[in-house]
Amino acid sequence: MNAREKAYVRPVDFRDGRVDMSHGAGGRAMAQLVDELFLAALDNPWLRKLNDQACFAPPAGRLVITTDSHVVTPLVFAGGDIGSLSVHGTINDVAMAGARPLYLTAGFILEEGFPLGELRRIVESMAAASREAGVPVVAGDTKVVEKGKGDGVFITTTGVGVVPDGVEISAERARPGDAVLVSGTLGDHGVAILSKRANLDFETPIRSDTAALHGLVAAMVEAAPAIRCLRDPTRGGLAATLNEFAQASGAGFRIRERALPIKPEVHAACEFLGLDPLNVANEGKLVAVCAPDDAAKLLAAMRAHPLGRDAALIGEVVEDPQRFVQMETRLGGWRIVDWLTGEQLPRIC
Amino acid sequence: MRYVDEFRDGTLARGIADRVAHEVRPDRSYRFMEFCGGHTHAIARYGVVDLLPAQVRMIHGPGCPVCVLPVGRIDNAIALALQHRVTLCTYADTLRVPASGKTSLLRAKAAGADVRMVYAASDALRIAREHPQREVVFFAIGFETTTPATALVLLEAERAGLGNFSVFCNHVLTPAAIAAILEAPRGAAAPALDGFVGPAHVSCVIGSAPYEPFAAKYAKPVVIAGFEPLDVMQAVRMLVRQVNEGRHEVENEYTRAVTRGGNARAIAAMAETFEPRPTFEWRGLGEVAGSALRIRDRFRRFDAEARYGIVYRPVPEPKGCECGAILRGAKSPSDCRLFGTVCTPENPVGSCMVSSEGSCAAWYGYGRFRDAARTA
């Protein structure tokens, strides 16, 4: 046998193959999966070195780091899948500091028996999201757990970014008088996911809003560098984000129901499921708080960006030692906008 | 959204509010009870009280199916799931109601019991069909709104001859409960009430006629209203008029859904499958004669109470919990020492803090800023 000739290796069977314990065992099967799947899809100079870590020079400014685990069911939904979601979610968490995201890492926990073809679609979707955002996945890890010990695929991503000097964005900086803005329609992601859950299968044209928001944030920081707070209202929706701002800043929030951008389809779905759209998750929206003088130019900058077309001024920060988030209803009365209790459950009567 | 947004319109609301303000007499107060949790929720969620004049006071009633279920009945259901090892299916909020000994169905589930949340009674039947080796029990709760659905699954189970399905029936009756509020149980003082906002969904099923004897006997006006905020406001206006004119009639604001005779097919299905119980314990109201339903003998093999020999044991209310007085309309949530401190939606002590239709949960989740404004 000629040692110079590369021996034939049967390629990974992405058509009928399934994840087995050997794919996480550190042997040849694992190396082959890394090579033919992860490296092929996510290819970049750092990954290509096949080291256990990625090395890069620290950029000027302050570093930002965040981590996020993704366990969504179903794995594929209208408008995205767990792959794109795991890229967008972590990029957004970095961006909400006003930072420019630089690198991502990804950890996969795969369940024995998971179809390799589905895994490839998820990894390719992840790669496409990473390329589109311009943020490479520079290190990764794969583990396999026995059947029944996972739910198909779990993905943990970590993001590193850099904040320009002079940008100080943090939840405790909200002050009475500040303006509160959202970047677009609320509840799209949660309703798209719920519509595909078992027992709840209903037809809806709603797609998840999953998107990387760092471009929008860059435009916003350029227009109004003194933005005080930014956060993406994911789990718990707008209600949770405003309550977090209120707790951190020691101020109250007042919003107007009439000003909230909500798609009629989302409103209708929430209506018959007994959900409040303010508690429903988003994956491509942000909430911003800024000084009243900055509100007009910030809103204009948001609306000029494709991901902020439906941006709206929804309320203001007020003095309130109780730190309540209150809303003037469409009807003209007032109510509290509270944290979500337990899981979102429909009413029965 | 059509047929919904119209009933939440701010301009129309101001119009009705102006008329109510014009019609109330400045020298008297108007105390109206909204019986249903659906109304309580709508009033709190849309801030309806902000639009009503100070003379009108809304008092929350016991019409929350989860709230009125006594603890002993939840204990029975937990025993079915944990000791008899059945697959227990029920509606969502029921899972979180605190039972004896710091348990709940949700905690029993975490401890390994097979407890499933269903959206419809027919889902429980489907689970029984899909798992013939499992004993499946539907823990049926609710007023006349949910009763017809339970009746239909009993009829279907009989037709299909299902051997592994039964119903633990806890359905209760609205008219008897409204009367019980004015009968002041256990020596407690009856709340001073000038009229009732009558049920929406319940009345779609039973019609408006069953309230007529009540209105005549107790000389209290009843206005049946839909669950949208403008429905409630219009009903308040109609009640104010009846009071001012000294009338006590059953009027129907919810004409787009409720007739005098109700839904004949639903009523027939209920009559075929259920009969009144001599008495039933309600949280807050105590034992109320003729206020609940049990499964007829013809369907005995689908009756979980007979099948598993369920024995009901009354359980005292948690110490300090005012759910009973709140359900009778005798106290409001912020009168309870536990409200918002020991008892919160995350850690409910009493049932009124569990369901979003419960008075305490509605006040906590939507209205408690008003307490702060009052004490400030």
Domain boundaries, chain A: 21-163, 171-336
Residue B376 has what DSSP assignment? -
Q: Is the Cβ pair B10, A271 closer than 8 Å?
A: no
Give chain A's residues under pLDDT 50. 1, 345-349
Residue range B278-309, pLDDT digits in tens? 999 998 888 999 999 999 999 999 999 999 99
CB A128 within 8 A of CB A84: yes
CB B45 within 8 A of CB A334: no
CA distance B13 to chain A (A): 6
Main-chain phi, psi angles of A246, to 5 degrees: -65, -45
Decide if pLDDT at B187 tops 80.
no
- Classified as helix, coil or strand, B1 is coil
B184: pLDDT confidence band, cut at 50, 70 and 90?
low
For residue A333, list chain B residues with Cβ-Cβ distance below 8 A.
Answer: 46-51, 229
For residue A341, list chain B residues with Cβ-Cβ distance below 8 A.
Answer: 345-346, 361, 365
- Report the chain B residue with the minimal C-alpha distance to residue A337: B366
Q: What is the mean pLDDT of residues B119-143?
A: 96
Can you tell me the distance from the alpha carbon of B232 to that of B185, in angstroms, rounded to the nearest whole number?
Answer: 28
Q: What is the mean pLDDT of residues B190-199?
A: 90
Q: Return the pLDDT at A199.
A: 62
Residue A66 to residues A97, A100, A166, B120: CA-CA distances in angstroms?
10, 13, 20, 42
CB A257 within 8 A of CB A329: yes
Residue from B140, B173, B153 nearest B304 by CA: B140
Q: Which of A199, A268, A331 sits opposite B8 (nearest CB)?
A: A331
Q: Return the pLDDT at B190.
A: 65
Can you tell me the distance from the alpha carbon of B328 to that of B185, in angstroms, rounded to the nearest whole number?
Answer: 9
Q: Is the Cβ pair B47, A324 closer than 8 Å?
A: no
B337: pLDDT confidence band, cut at 50, 70 and 90?
very high
> Which overall architecture, per CATH, does domain A21-163 show?
2-Layer Sandwich (3.30)
Q: Return the pLDDT at B23.
A: 97
- Report the chain B residue with the minimal C-alpha distance to residue A262: B1
**Measured in whole angstroms, how far is the alpha carbon of residue B229 from the centre of its chain?**
18
CA distance A185 to chain B (A): 16
For residue A345, list chain B residues with Cβ-Cβ distance below 8 A.
Answer: 92-93, 117
Least confident of B21-35, B221-235, B335-349: B335-349
Contacts of B27 (CB under 8 A, 6+ apart): none
For residue B229, list chain A residues with Cβ-Cβ distance below 8 A.
Answer: 329, 331, 333
- Report the chain B residue with the minimal C-alpha distance to residue A334: B47
Taking the Cβ of residue A332 and every Cβ of chain B, the question of whether any pair is shorter than 8 Å is answered with yes
Residue A68: strand pairing partners: A157
Fold match flag (A21-163 vs A171-336): no
Q: How large is the ipTM? A: 0.86
Q: Which of B46, B66, B369 sits opposite A331 (nearest CB)?
A: B46
Decide if pLDDT at B108 tops 80.
yes
Taking the Cβ of residue A345 and every Cβ of chain B, the question of whether any pair is shorter than 8 Å is answered with yes
Q: Which of B47, B117, B369 sits opposite A324 (nearest CB)?
A: B369
Taking the Cβ of residue A2 and every Cβ of chain B, the question of whether any pair is shorter than 8 Å is answered with no
More reliable by pLDDT, B62 or B19: B19
Highest mean pLDDT range out of A214-218, B64-68, B328-332? A214-218
CB count within 10 Å of CB A273 equals 18
Q: Return the pLDDT at B182.
A: 84
CB A316 within 8 A of CB A326: no
Give the pair of three-digit tokens for residue A25. Answer: 């065992």
For residue B367, list chain A residues with Cβ-Cβ distance below 8 A.
Answer: 335-336
Taking the Cβ of residue A198 and every Cβ of chain B, the question of whether any pair is shorter than 8 Å is answered with no
Residue B264 to residues B203, B206, B272, B353: CA-CA distances in angstroms?
12, 8, 12, 35
Mean pLDDT value across chain B: 93
Decide if pLDDT at B186 tops 60.
no
Q: Which of A331, A342, A346 sits opposite B51 (nearest CB)?
A: A331
Main-chain phi, psi angles of A166, to 5 degrees: 90, -15
- Dihedral angle, C-alpha B363, A181, A126, A20, nearest 10 °: -10
Can you give the pTM of this predicted structure? 0.90
Q: Return the pLDDT at B354.
A: 87
Q: Is the Cβ pair A342, B96 closer than 8 Å?
A: yes
B20: pLDDT confidence band, cut at 50, 70 and 90?
very high
Interface of A with B in 262-301 (CB under 8 A): 264, 267-268, 271, 274
Q: Return the pLDDT at A201.
A: 64
Can you tell me the distance from the alpha carbon of B64 to that of B177, in angstroms, rounded to the nearest whole number?
Answer: 12
B188: pLDDT confidence band, cut at 50, 70 and 90?
low
CB pairs under 8 A between A and B: 103
Q: Is the Cβ pair B46, A335 closer than 8 Å?
A: yes
Task: Choose the mutation target among B18, B20, B50 for the interface with A, i.e. most A CBs under 10 Å.
Answer: B50
Tell me, which fold does domain A171-336 have in CATH? Phosphoribosyl-aminoimidazole Synthetase; Chain A, domain 2 (3.90.650)
Residue B278 to residues A318, B275, B290: CA-CA distances in angstroms?
56, 9, 5
Can you tell me the distance from the alpha carbon of B17 to that of B1, in angstroms, rounded to the nearest whole number?
Answer: 23
Q: Return the pLDDT at A343.
A: 61
Q: Between A82-95 and A214-223, two packed helices, what is the crossing angle to 10 degrees?
A: 20
Q: Return the pLDDT at A290.
A: 98
